[in-house]
Each structure stands twice: as structure tokens, then as C-alpha cells.
A and B are shown apart, each in its own frame.
Chain A
Amino acid sequence: MLTVLLIFLPLLASATVLLVKQPLSKFLAFVVALAELVISIIMAFGFDKTQTAAQFSVHWQWISSLGVNFSVGIDGISMLLVLLTTVLMPGIILSSLNNTTKPPSFYALMLLMQSALIGVFTAMDGFLFYIFWEVALIPVYFICLVWGGENRGRITLKFFIYTLTGSLFMLVALIFLYFHTAGKHSFDIQSLYLAGRGLGESQQVFVFCAFFLAFAIKMPVFPFHTWQPDTYTVAPLQGTMLLSAIMLKMGIYGVIRWLIPVVPVAVNKWGEVAMILAVIGIVYASCIAIVQKDFKRLIAYSSIAHVGLIAAGLFTLNRIGMQGAMIQMLSHGIVVFGMFYIVEIIFERTKTRDLSQLGGIRNVAPLLSSVFIVIMLGSVALPLTSGFIGEFLLINSLVQYQVWIGAVAGLTIILGAVYMLRTFQKVMSGESNPVTALVPDLNYHERLVLYPVVILVLVIGVYPGPLLNISEAAVNNLLSIYSDLSASVK
């Protein structure tokens, strides 16, 4: 029941938020996000880490003639992503408080978004998953369209059409699988797994391609990424945060839950191609990040590089890589959230994101600078920050898969330092100039958002054990399903 509460509380609240006036609506939204956080933490403590099956699950008949059920549940993999969502949402809402011009509808969309995201991460029914997947696109589209920057119309439309196209391929694949389920057709996840197992190789490859396209666009993986830098750059801060910190994890989660166990033979055969694309993306996006002039765009490209590493590690299909992907999803979400917030804080104060115009902020805003350093270290994966745990495990799995692929992926260690240190130098170091000389330091609620980020980056880096434990059983289970299936077809 708690899962249902998690999904529907923000949905109902979003309607309420629309009805009340500012500033009540934003505080209501914040309170609801906090309540969600509390509920999810209660769930995390009640979560049985040894169990592989979904917990807190609910199974309601919905459209029984089509075999569609409202079935949701949480296993270790879902648990971590639900936590990521509920931890970041209060922060995202809080980050908008500087700017008081946002109407209630903005906050209603945020809550709607949260509802859909949690739905995606907990759905145990193919049709339900698809519904949540598409619903999640709508609020973020409007957030970007209405409150975005220059050229937002054209860019958000491209984003919308691009991701929607991907999703349609997924829908086709889901329906295709549905018609191959045994007995009375059903969208139940286990039936779909079985249906996937029953497919011949070429059919599996078709399903693989369709799913992969949808997920690859969402993440995004090279070369399906071109919507991302533009969209991240024009979106309002909260839109960028939603997209980068949480929404792209839908794509990764999709691969884990809806691709690898569904068509194991095709994954076995074509996973390597996906891996190589992802690895190319790491180097490619890192290089492009080096020459960016716009601070926000630079972080957008760095995000592509980091996500590329996660995707590559996933396709090694070993436990180290999969666990690395899980923890890196959390770390990336937290780090990128903090990073974009810093970009926005500096933009609000200086009215520019042009790196060549910034500099010397360290002289006037030491707190901001220190927070930037810690988050940057998380981003370049310095040991004892959260970024290191995931990056090390992912590179570990890749090196074990093939040492040269691992070495190329590992270039992110070097290139990440190149672009992040360059950015830090250009933004923070040097003499202050007229643009930056009067930048005030972090204010009260900025600190309220950023300090937890700093603490999380460090705590996860030093003691990741509890988080790794949560997903361990589920990851093992998933990989054993995968290897059983890929073996049984052969």
C-alpha cells in the first residue's frame, strides 16, 4: 500500500496545489515532497534486503479483458531509484524558491512528474510502465516549454518528438511481446519475460532494437543524444534537474528491468554494440565538454559522458558492473543536481553562463566555492566521494570484460579532470572582474539545498555499504534470470 501512496499522494496533491494560491501552493508542494521522502525512508528501513521478489507490492485488476493490471512493487533496484527521486524532489522544489514568479501550475506539474517517475520505477506491468513512461514526459515538456529560455519552442518540441518516437518503438515491442504471451495474453512482467524467452533470435533482436532505441534516447546514449545539450541548456533549472538527475535514469532503469531479462539472447549478441556506442560516447562527450563556452552546456555534455559509462557497465552483465551502475545512478543524480544548481546560482548573480566572462568568484563567495569543489570532486570521481564508488565498479567490470574497452572508458578519469578543473579555474579562480566582484555568497535556503548534497556525496563515498546492500539481492536475481534465459535458449 505504501507504494500506491507514494504514487498517488503527489498526484492528488498536484490537483490541490492548482486550486490554492501562491505562496501556499509552493509550500504545499514542498511539504508533499517531504512527506514522500519520509514515506520512502520508512520503506527503506522496512525493506527486506535478502528478498529478491518485489516488496510492498500491490496487484489490482484494471483492464482484465486486455490482461492489464495495476501491479506495482519495489525490489532493491526500484528502491534505490525511488529513494533518488524522493530525496531530490524536495531539493528541486526548494531550489525554485529564490524565484517567486512561478505560478501554482508549475508546482502542480512538478508533483505530477514525481508521481509518474515513481510509477515508472515501480510498475510491474508492461502497460502500466508504458503509461507512466509517457505521462512523465508531459509535465517536463510543459515545464521546459513555458519557463524555458531562448528558442525554447523549437528545442523542446524536438526533445518531445525525439523521445516520443523512441517510446513508440517501445510500445510496438511491448505489444509484440504481449501477443506472444502464453495462454490469455497479459502485460504482467513475468509473462513478458517468458514471452521474450519464447521468441526466436531474430524476433528478439527486433524487440531489443525497439526497446534499446527508446532507452538510448532517454539516457541519452551516443549518437542519440543531440536533443540533450540544447534541452538542458534552455530548460529552467528545475526542468534541467528533473531531466538530468532523475528522468534519464528511466532509460537506464528500462535497460535493467525491461531489456536485459526480456531478450537475453539478443542482449548477449548485441549488447556489445550498445556497450561500444556508450564507450564512444564517453570520450566523445568528454572531448566536446572541454571546448564548451557555456557553463550549463558543459555540464550537459559531462552528463552524457557519465551516463555513457553507466550504460557501458550495464552491458558487461556482471554483478560488479550492475552494482556500479546502481550506485552511480544515485551519485550522478546527486552530483548533477548540485552542479546545475551551482550553475544557476552563478547565473542568477552574474546574468551570464559564459565561462570567459566569469572568474574570481572564490574571492567573494568562499562557501559557494567550497561547495563547488566538493561537488566537482564527486563529478571527477575522487575516492571517498560518491562518484568514485560507481566509477570504479563500472570501470572494473569493463576492464574485466575487455581490458582495452575498459581503458578507453577509463579515459573519463583523465578527460573529466580536464574539463572540470578548467571550468573551476575559469569560474572560480583568478582575479574578480566587474561581473563577479559583487557576487554574494550562498543564502540561507541555497545552503539548505546544497549542504545535504555535499553531505550525501561524502557519506556515500565513505560508507556505500547500506546502499549497495539494498540492490544486491535484486541485481543477483536479475542476472541469474538473464543467464538462465540466455542459456536455456541456446
Chain B
Amino acid sequence: MSYSLIISLIPILPLLGFVLIALTGKRLVRGFASLVACGSVFVSFCFSLALFIKLVNGGDAFNVVLFNWISAGNFNATIGFLIDPLSSLMLLIITGVGFLIHVYSIGYMHDDAGYNRFFSYLNLFVFFMLLLVMGNNYLLMFVGWEGVGLCSYLLIGFWFKNQDYNDAANKAFIMNRIGDLGLIIGVILIFAHFGSVNYMDVFAKADTVGTSTLTFITILLFIGAMGKSAQIPLYTWLPDAMAGPTPVSALIHAATMVTAGVYMVARNNILYTLSPVSQELVLIIGSATALFAATIAITQNDIKKVLAYSTVSQLGLMFVALGVGAYATGIFHMATHAFFKALLFLGAGSVIHALHGEQDMRRMGGLKKYIPITYLTFFIGVLAISGIPPFAGFFSKDAILSSAFEISPTAWAIAVIASLLTVFYMFRLLFLVFFGKERATEDKMHHIHESPSSITIPLIILAGFSAVGGFMGVPEIFSGGNWLGRFLEPVFSKSLELKSEHHLSHGTEYVLMATIVGFTLVVIAWAYAKYVSKAEVPVAEGVELSGLNQTLYHKYYIDELYEAVIVKPLYWVSKLFDIVVEKSGIDKMVNLAGDVVTDWSKIFRLLQNGSLGYYIFVMVIGVILIIAFSYTR
């Protein structure tokens, strides 16, 4: 098979899977529907692997153009794919992790009435996500960008009988659209200034456009990233998005879709490198979000909400990396995060599954002996996200921190605090769920069971990747070759040229690393003392919390703020338009114009009263007037 056929088939297979399952609806046997869904993603994974191997062995990037999509005036956009190291890595993550989550869903969604529908949406999601990373131009990326937003909407509101879930779905879609508006205007401005929306054309001419224009463009693009990757101020949809089934949270709202913003900024690295102001903005937003979300996560009691805020925070860390120009490092963390956060979500799903839908950690506890595989794999995930060497998160997080330390010590300090908070809330979660007393109802404990193998096998595989995934980017000081960095180098080469190279001395790096690991252990010990030794349990709903805790528990009241500042005013303005401007303003005027005509007509109508005598009288008067008039001339 030729490579261009393989490349085209990668997104087309999941699309075909979607079409097949969607068109047959419930008529398709369940087993067959999941076979189609998993199979199509698996074949795409194999193809992605083939491309990846080709690229690793020094092959050139592939650029395949299928057909002209939109062409109007001087605007032209194609359906075409670019497979370079960056998109190839993304392909592996999407199809690889995606496949595991598909398999997991077989077990997790087993009893759901919308089984087939679920798999069709998942396949559609994979299709759009692949378009997003494979597109060779901005517009095709935008197609994927909005498409994954649609699938996210459909899957958050998957259980559509519950209107709260539908509200969450609407919120996600609308917030993303705010970002999308920024993104699309950015893309249009790119077209206006570069005359093309093809990556290759734009990047080649990147330095021909003035800095202020580039800054404007990159900020607009970043607004899109804020929406999709849930950064301040557009992050509030992601915690609510946990309304969707847990595999969705793992696939879309942790491993793949939400990292689209990171991918996009990394893809446009040269534009960001050339506009320092935007890069600064990325750094500020990233670090602020990392800290802010982490503080909220420590007070949440819903197991998925903790993980959701953790995702927001970790995405913030990735943007810190991008903001200091360490693009490969950001992608590295994105990859390891995809492993361990997917693992954690799937593990949480397994817990929820075992407890028949219970999500509140206050009603869990002591589960480790009942669901050992889930416990062990989850534990590995926690170690990985906490940055315990040599698990995956350690290498990638450390790489971010040391890059940040070079450029901005403030950002470094914030990132360190956020990381330590991460350690705290993750161990809090681990201890509350798996350690201590059993707090679930007797009925639930009675039915508790380890999940079926379709759930545990993906957990085990992901645990394996979370344990060793970090070795793809072992830095120099551990005499590693930073393989990932070198693999991705062609994508970032222009930016790296522009960036002055200065590295921390190995001594400094060791000291930083040791300090952080030391603090990490202290935090773990503290969490252990608090939640295992003293067996503290977060207070029940309705109990008064102290000031700061209260604020954190209510997520800084940001949702309430948005409600008061944006949602309500929009509603009022709309009401004002509808009732005052429309009905008593414009339409009144229109009717008034009609009424005026009618009123005048009423007056003129009096002239025609049908009486012959009156007409003769008027006629005589008229004749007299004419005669009089002609005499006076």
C-alpha cells in the first residue's frame, strides 16, 4: 500500500465506523458495533505506527493533498494531510490511547441502552481528532477543532434525559465557541497577511510579517486554545463536562481533545517565538491556571471533579512549557499526561463501576482489597502524576520545571507550588478511596466486584506506559539522549535557532530536582498522616467551612461570577431587545407610519360623501374660483 493511501485511511476508517454504526442504529448487534468501533481505531493505530516507524528511521515528512475543498476568490483551502514527527506522535496517542479506551468502553457501557450510539460518537470523535492533528492547513485543523467540540457536546450530554447533563453539554459547546471565534479570526488574519492557510507557506514566511501583527494573530489563536484546553478564563466547562460517561472523560477531556490547544501552539511555535508578548501571555495564563485549578482540586469530593481540575492544572503546566519556548517539553508532558491521566480516569471509572455509580469520595474508602488491580494500576498513575522517579510524570514535569527556571523563576515557583498541590490532592484522593475505613453503604459493599477484563486490561497497559513512558525523554543529566526532543526537532528547528541556547549547569539541576522530590515526599507523608493515620474525612454537605476552604470548595465562585456578569446580562439585553426595542420601538414606528396614512385617508375620505348636491356645489365654487383667478392675472 502506498503511504498516501495509508495516511488517508487513518481518519477515514473511524469515519466509516461511525457511518456504519450510526446508519444501522440499534439494529446492529452490540458485539458487532463495538467490534467495528474498536477495529477501525486499531487499524488506524497500526497505520499510524507504520508511519511513525518510517519517520523514526529518518523518513521525510509526508504531505498528501486529497482535493480542493473551498476555493473562492484568492482563498484556497485543501483537504490535505501533513505527517511530520509532531502529528505522527499525536496520531499514536490518539489512536493508541483511543483504542484502549474503546476496549474499556465495551465493559464500562455494557448495560447502557445507548451502547451503539456511544460507540458511533466515539468513532466520530476519533475521526475529527485525527483531522485536527493531520490537517496540513489551518482550516482543516479548524474542522477537527470544531468537530471534536461537537463530539464532546454529544458525549457530555450522552444521557440526555438528565437536563443538568444537557446544561453541561451546552456550556462546553458554547464556551468552546467563544474560543473558536478567536481562533477563526486568527486564521482569517493569517490568510490576509500570508495569502495562504497552509502551514508550510505560512511558516516559511513567518518573519516577513511585523511583530505587532503576529502578536495579534497569535493571541487570537491562543484564545481558541484557552477554550479547547480549558485555560483561564474559559476553563469552567471542563469540570462540568464530567457529566459524560467516564471513558469520555478519559479520552476526550483528559488525553486528547483538551490537549488540542497545546498541539496548536506547538504547531505554530515559530509564530509564538517571533512574538514575545504572546509567549509571555501563554506563560502567564498557563502558570496561573496551573496554580488556580490545583487549589480548587484539593477541596473537591467528587472523584471525577478532582481529576478534572487536575487536568486543567496539568494543561496549565504544558502551557508553561510552551510559554518558555520549550515546545518539545510541552509535547513530552502532553504525551505522558495522556497515559497517566487516561489511566487515572479509567481507574476512577472502574471504582465508580464497582460501587454502582458512586462518585463521592466521602462514601468510598478501604477499597484496595476489593479491587486490587484497579488499586495497583491507579497507584502507579498517582505516582506518575506526582512526579516520583522514575515514573513517566517525573521526567516530563522535571523538564518543564527546569526550562521554566531558566526563563522565569516566578513561573518556576508557581509551577513548583502547583506540582506540590498536585501531589497532595492526588494522594488525598488515593487515600480517601482505597485506604482507611469502608464508608460505602453496606448494600454497595455487598455487591462490590473487580471490573471485567475489558476494563482491567486497558488499565494494566496504561499503567505500563505510565511507569516507563518517561524514558522517551530522559534528559542529558541522566545520560539519556532525550530521544523525543531529537525526534521532534525538525518541527521546532526554526524556533530553536532563534532562541539563544543557555542551559542550567548540571549542579543546579540536580539541586532543584532533589529539593522538589524531597518536598514531594514530605507532602505525601503529610497527606498520609491526615487521611490515613488520623483518618480525616471531608465534612459532609451543608456543614459550614472556614473562609478559605469555603471559597475553594465553591471554586472561587467563578461560575456564579460568569452567571452574574455574562449570562444574566445577555438574557436581559435580549429581553430588552425583544420587548422594548422590537415591539414598542421599531414595530410601533412601522405601524405608526401605516396609521398616519390611514388617518389622513379618513380626512380625505370626507370629501367623497356621495351627495350629488355637494359635488355640484363644490364644482360651482371651483368654476367661480377659476374665473376669478383668470381675471386677476
Contact = CB atoms under 8 A, between A and B. Distances in A.
Interface of A: 158, 161-162, 223, 226-227, 284, 287-288, 290-292, 318-320, 322-324, 327, 360, 362-363, 366, 370, 377, 382-384, 389, 392-393, 395-396, 399-400, 403, 406-407, 410-411, 413-414, 417-418, 421-422, 425, 428-431, 462-465, 468, 472
23 contacts: A162-B590, A284-B577, A284-B581, A290-B574, A291-B571, A320-B72, A323-B72, A362-B160, A384-B143, A395-B184, A395-B185, A396-B75, A396-B191, A399-B192, A400-B192, A403-B189, A410-B184, A413-B177, A421-B169, A421-B173, A463-B67, A464-B69, A468-B70
Given A383-B142, A399-B188, A421 B174 contact: yes
B536 interface: no
Contacts of A392: 70, 139, 184
B185 A465 contact: no
A189 B609 CA distance: 47
A414 B570 CA distance: 12
A377 B150 contact: yes
Contact of B181 (A161, A377, A393, A411): A411
Contacts of B181: 407, 410-411, 413-414
A464 B177 CA distance: 24
B594 A158 contact: yes
B161 A429 contact: yes
Given A223-B586, A414-B174, A320 B75 contact: yes
A319 B73 contact: yes
B160 A318 contact: no
Q: Which of A320, A360, A421, A422 is the most central at the interface, judged by chain B CB atoms within 10 Å of its CB?
A: A421
A399 B185 contact: yes
A288 B147 CA distance: 27
Contacts of B581: 284
Nearest to A360: B161
A421 B570 CA distance: 16
A364 B629 CA distance: 84
Contacts of B590: 158, 162, 226-227
Contacts of A327: 72
A400 B188 contact: yes
B163 interface: yes
B559 interface: no
A287 B143 contact: no
Contacts of A360: 161
B269 interface: no
A383 B144 CA distance: 8
Nearest to B79: A462
B180 interface: yes
Contacts of B240: none
Interface string B583-623: 00011001100100000000000000000000000000000
B68 interface: yes
A413 B72 contact: no
Contact of B70 (A287, A393, A410, A413): A393
Contacts of B201: none
Contacts, number: 136
Nearest to A410: B181
A430 B147 contact: no
A468 to B, nearest CB: 6
Nearest to A225: B586
A370 B66 CA distance: 29
A407 B185 contact: yes
Contacts of A430: 160-163, 166
A290 B570 contact: yes
A465 B71 CA distance: 7
Contacts of A288: 574, 577-578, 582
A453 to B, nearest CB: 16
A406 B574 contact: no
B549 interface: no
A407 to B, nearest CB: 6
Given A382-B146, A410-B185, A417-B173, A393 B75 contact: yes
Interface string B551-595: 000000000000000000011011101100110001100110010
Given A389-B70, A395-B184, A421-B170, A226 B594 contact: no
B575 A425 contact: no
A324 B188 CA distance: 14
A258 B227 CA distance: 43
Contact of B73 (A323, A403, A411, A464): A323
Pick the most buried of B69, B73, B75: most chain A CB atoms within 10 A of its CB: B73
A397 to B, nearest CB: 8
B46 to A, nearest CB: 26
Contacts of A393: 70, 72, 75
B73 A318 contact: yes
Contacts of A422: 170
A353 to B, nearest CB: 17
Given A320-B75, A406-B185, A464-B70, A382 B571 contact: no
A383 B143 contact: yes
Given A417-B177, A418-B174, A468 B188 contact: no
A291 B578 contact: yes
Nearest to B75: A320
B25 interface: yes
A376 B153 CA distance: 13
The 4 closest A-B pairs by CB, nearest first: A319-B73, A323-B72, A383-B143, A287-B574
Nearest to B216: A403
A323 B147 CA distance: 24
B185 A403 contact: yes
Contacts of B139: 392
A287 B576 CA distance: 9
Nearest to A285: B577
A3 B578 CA distance: 44
Contacts of B71: 465, 468
Given A158-B594, A323-B73, A422-B170, A413 B180 contact: yes
Most buried by B among A227, A287, A324, A403: A287
B460 to A, nearest CB: 37
B74 interface: yes
Given A413-B184, A430-B161, A226 B72 contact: no
Interface in B14-37: 22, 25
B157 interface: yes
B532 interface: no
A364 B577 CA distance: 36
A396 B161 contact: no
Nearest to B142: A383
Given A318-B73, A428-B160, A465-B67, 19 more contacts: A158-B590, A226-B590, A284-B577, A288-B574, A290-B570, A292-B578, A320-B74, A392-B70, A392-B139, A396-B75, A396-B188, A399-B185, A399-B188, A399-B189, A399-B192, A407-B185, A414-B181, A417-B177, A430-B161
A384 B161 contact: no
B188 A287 contact: no
A26 to B, nearest CB: 31
A414 B166 CA distance: 17
A429 B153 CA distance: 13
Nearest to B588: A226
A383 B68 CA distance: 15
B312 to A, nearest CB: 22
B12 interface: no
Contact of A226 (B22, B143, B169, B582): B582
Contacts of B178: 414
B97 to A, nearest CB: 24
B465 to A, nearest CB: 32
Contacts of B25: 366
Contacts of B22: 370
A413 B183 CA distance: 12
A382 B177 CA distance: 10
Nearest to B159: A429
Given A226-B587, A395-B184, A425-B166, A465 B177 contact: no
Given A403-B185, A464-B70, A382 B574 contact: no
Contacts of B72: 319-320, 323-324, 327, 393, 468, 472
